Structure 1
């Protein structure tokens, strides 16, 4: 681990200013480097439904600001730790464990708003500026080291090694920082129409979980101190802080919450959880949805379809559930049912991908190609859509290919799409081979220009 920390130390040192003052422009550059390093060491949830939801929630908070210095980005880390943190320049993270500890959107919004408060108040920048005995780069090496190891003991060891002078530095925010972030967070949740009591209940849960942890302090409390006092402070502040309490539909929160449990925790434990919940309340749609997702992980498509159909008996027009049913039907070789469902849904990359697969299985090649092209237009990183485009163009008769693309040399398009597929899969040598092959076969001038540009970037 130490060698990685020194690499991070060096990268961050290169983008930091020589002076102790961090401008917003400099913080943006630092935030970008910070995020690159976080992605190397922390597993981020890669689920469009979850990611779209948390960013929609986060942006609803940030839009309350009259102006903003940074673009804000929100992520879930696939880890059971009870933690959340904000990095430089608006990169905000919550761990799966903490997300699953919450019961409603107001609690989640409260924690996100608090972390945004640290960014808005520029507490990271202030800590850099106020550091007199250590360099800015060292402080950031400590911060990243603590995040990577999730261990305060390891963080302290890294700090001592990085500084070389044995200077100790706490990663905790000050009491003043916390209260300022609390006040700012309350304004954000109130302005966005969330119940500000959710912030208090979220912090009370953290306090309770810390007592139930057998002496092991949750990671969140290691960097966010004085929680009991802050709860009292928040309860007093709420008495004089009016808020617009909108009766929000919790469906999006519950779907994201269930997806985290069903898709990212132990599948057998998750199945038992949802089955027990159904025994307690057989009329709650969300637990059938959870069982369906668990069946998907087990590739039991019959059981998945049955549970999604049961879910739809409560939520007949929910696009996310309909999509899951359509995909399940595809795996059951019910291609007409897949097409009937997916072609009516709002367009998203996964629906379009499976719609294309179903059309392909039925021999409707033009419709398949059209679906996959729309898929990659929505999500340019959807690698399997390129793979099936490549396969399809390789097998197409020239006359049919001409209907979909002006270049009758469809083999060039096959190699082009295969090159993109391999590039997205992290195989540059295979990608380069197919791009060169495509260039040698291409007849279309636009495709030739595109391929030359790609090859010149290598």
Structure 2
């Protein structure tokens, strides 16, 4: 091998290493929008979503969505960022993927579908946008400068100017440049095709992508386009996309048998979302009229009745439901929540403890069990359990608030005010946040406490940016 050939070989290896492994350069193209920039923008956008929308932290819902995403992700090529997903409590049929592997799905999308494969299809489509790095590439081409401007444009594209906040859209520049960040026809076609591949590889029925898009189209007609993603309602060609996807599925049907629908867990999550997170009167009417699995139907009715304060009817419904779900941790948890809400602590403790033992990952059951223990005066165990819950959902205002009460009962004033500060921070209550911030500064004595004050001030600064 001559010297010239060796030099060429080593230069090629250096260039390959630079493009593939150097973290400061976006993979696949050179430019100003680096991997570090994308990570920062992703974190800011996530904080924006969590400031503007109620996030569903219920593990029954959250883990279900994550399970679908992980099943799809196993069939994706290696990604620059880990895939993370938040479930937003909102009736709109919406889902989107932005930068740094961050995805959002609205509860309305889950409720608006008939099969698990349809939800998986929408998520597969969004994962394809991530895999093909459509947003990052569009940002690079747009030549927008500054994370603040980029954040405002992303907010306008994905969640609308109202949800994004006018203050985030920096002048006419962001508005004029937002067109660069919207998916093109080619982006959507590629996401359809790649997403369908992910869907089939994960073992979902590919017909789900066609029927999901048909439902989105129908929702657009019925609502005037106001309750579906803005980028879908304005982007042309959805009829064409449904057509070529159906053609591909038809060709596939001729070669292989399509996977059967598997919707048991999907219906379970739908029942919980409808009963717990939508209008209770409408939910009750739905469960009274729709032909569902008898146990799920009964659970939905019981939860809706309890939310309507129809206590005797709710208790009768829960007693009936527990006969067919006496070993189901979700049924036990919801019964425990009901008895806790109406002051029957012994019954609540019995059902919630069983739920935790059957499903240790159900942080909602553990949260309510800790509250029962606190009501019964066991503050030490209650604080241990509440801290365990916060380890996994550190931005839950309600958990911080109840931990603060328990710590106050134990006489730890600094820790109580600290968690009240976090509770109000995550509730976007600026006045109360500042009040408790002043308290913790005045109460901090040890180095550990002073560090916690600094940690809180950092969290406050990051969150307050979106107020």
TM-score by length of 2: 0.74
Corresponding residue for 1:389?
A: 406
Question: Aligned partners of 2:196 and 2:119: how far apart in 1?
Answer: 13
Go from structure 1 to structure 2 and tell me whether the alpha carbon gap of 1:84 and 1:168 turns closer, same or farther (over 3 Å shift). Answer: closer
Question: Aligned partners of 1:94 and 1:367: how far apart in 2?
Answer: 35
Q: Secondary structure at the match of 1:103?
A: coil
Aligned: 1:90 with 2:107: no
Go from structure 1 to structure 2 and tell me whether the alpha carbon gap of 1:109 and 1:386 turns closer, same or farther (over 3 Å shift). Answer: same
Aligned residues: 409
Q: Once superposed, what is the RMSD of the aligned Cα atoms? A: 3.7
Q: Secondary structure at the match of 1:169?
A: helix
Question: Aligned partners of 1:128 and 1:182: how far apart in 2?
Answer: 21
Question: Aligned partners of 2:344 and 2:421: how far apart in 1?
Answer: 30
Corresponding residue for 1:310?
A: 320
Q: Which moved more, 1:83-92 or 1:370-379?
A: 370-379
Deviation by residue 1:220-276 (Cα, 9 ceiling, x = unmatched):
533553122212222232324978966575343223323333333322222222222
Aligned: 1:266 with 2:265: no
Matches within 5 A, 1:373-384: 373-377=387-391, 379-380=393-394, 381=396, 382-384=399-401
Corresponding residue for 2:6?
A: none
CA offset at residue 287 of structure 1? Answer: 2.4
Contact 1:193 1:244 in 2 (8 A): no
Contact 2:93 2:227 in 1 (8 A): no
Corresponding residue for 1:350?
A: 364
* Equivalent position to 2:33, from 19, 22, 25: 22
Q: Which moved more, 1:42-51 or 1:363-372?
A: 363-372
CA offset at residue 21 of structure 1? Answer: 5.1
Gaps of 5+ in 2: 1-23, 426-432, 458-467
CA offset at residue 435 of structure 1? Answer: 6.4
Go from structure 1 to structure 2 and tell me whether the alpha carbon gap of 1:303 and 1:69 turns closer, same or farther (over 3 Å shift). Answer: farther
Q: Secondary structure at the match of 2:179?
A: coil
CA offset at residue 145 of structure 1? Answer: 1.9
Q: Which moved more, 1:29-38 or 1:184-193?
A: 29-38
Question: Aligned partners of 1:452 and 1:343: how far apart in 2?
Answer: 37
* Equivalent position to 1:454, from 444, 452, 455: 452
CA offset at residue 430 of structure 1? Answer: 2.1
Corresponding residue for 1:404?
A: none
Go from structure 1 to structure 2 and tell me whether the alpha carbon gap of 1:63 and 1:168 turns closer, same or farther (over 3 Å shift). Answer: closer
Question: Aligned partners of 2:101 and 2:35: how far apart in 1?
Answer: 11
Go from structure 1 to structure 2 and tell me whether the alpha carbon gap of 1:146 and 1:67 turns closer, same or farther (over 3 Å shift). Answer: closer
CA offset at residue 384 of structure 1? Answer: 3.4
Go from structure 1 to structure 2 and tell me whether the alpha carbon gap of 1:44 and 1:162 turns closer, same or farther (over 3 Å shift). Answer: farther
* Equivalent position to 1:257, from 270, 279, 291: 270
Question: Aligned partners of 2:374 and 2:52: how far apart in 1?
Answer: 39
Contact 2:135 2:181 in 1 (8 A): no
Aligned: 1:421 with 2:420: yes
Matches within 5 A, 1:334-349: 334-344=344-354, 345=356, 346-347=359-360, 348-349=362-363
Go from structure 1 to structure 2 and tell me whether the alpha carbon gap of 1:191 and 1:310 turns closer, same or farther (over 3 Å shift). Answer: farther
Q: Which moved more, 1:385-394 or 1:136-145?
A: 136-145
Deviation by residue 1:277-314 (Cα, 9 ceiling, x = unmatched):
2xx45x53222222222234334444333333333333
CA offset at residue 416 of structure 1? Answer: 2.3
Question: Aligned partners of 2:150 and 2:452: how far apart in 1?
Answer: 39
CA offset at residue 114 of structure 1? Answer: 0.1
* Equivalent position to 1:191, from 184, 201, 204: 201
Contact 2:142 2:180 in 1 (8 A): no
Question: Aligned partners of 1:51 and 1:307: how far apart in 2?
Answer: 26
Contact 1:73 1:90 in 2 (8 A): yes
Matches within 5 A, 1:142-221: 142-149=153-160, 161-162=172-173, 169=179, 172-213=182-223, 218=228, 219=230, 221=232
Go from structure 1 to structure 2 and tell me whether the alpha carbon gap of 1:342 and 1:417 turns closer, same or farther (over 3 Å shift). Answer: same
TM-score by length of 1: 0.76
Question: Aligned partners of 1:80 and 1:131: how far apart in 2?
Answer: 32
Contact 2:199 2:206 in 1 (8 A): yes
Contact 1:423 1:431 in 2 (8 A): no
Contact 1:173 1:223 in 2 (8 A): no
Gaps of 5+ in 1: 1-14, 395-412, 440-447
CA offset at residue 111 of structure 1? Answer: 0.2
Deviation by residue 1:373-420 (Cα, 9 ceiling, x = unmatched):
5444554552134224224313xxxxxxxxxxxxxxxxxx35424432
Question: Aligned partners of 1:254 and 1:228: how far apart in 2?
Answer: 29
Aligned: 1:62 with 2:73: yes
* Equivalent position to 2:439, from 433, 447, 450: 433
Contact 1:285 1:314 in 2 (8 A): yes
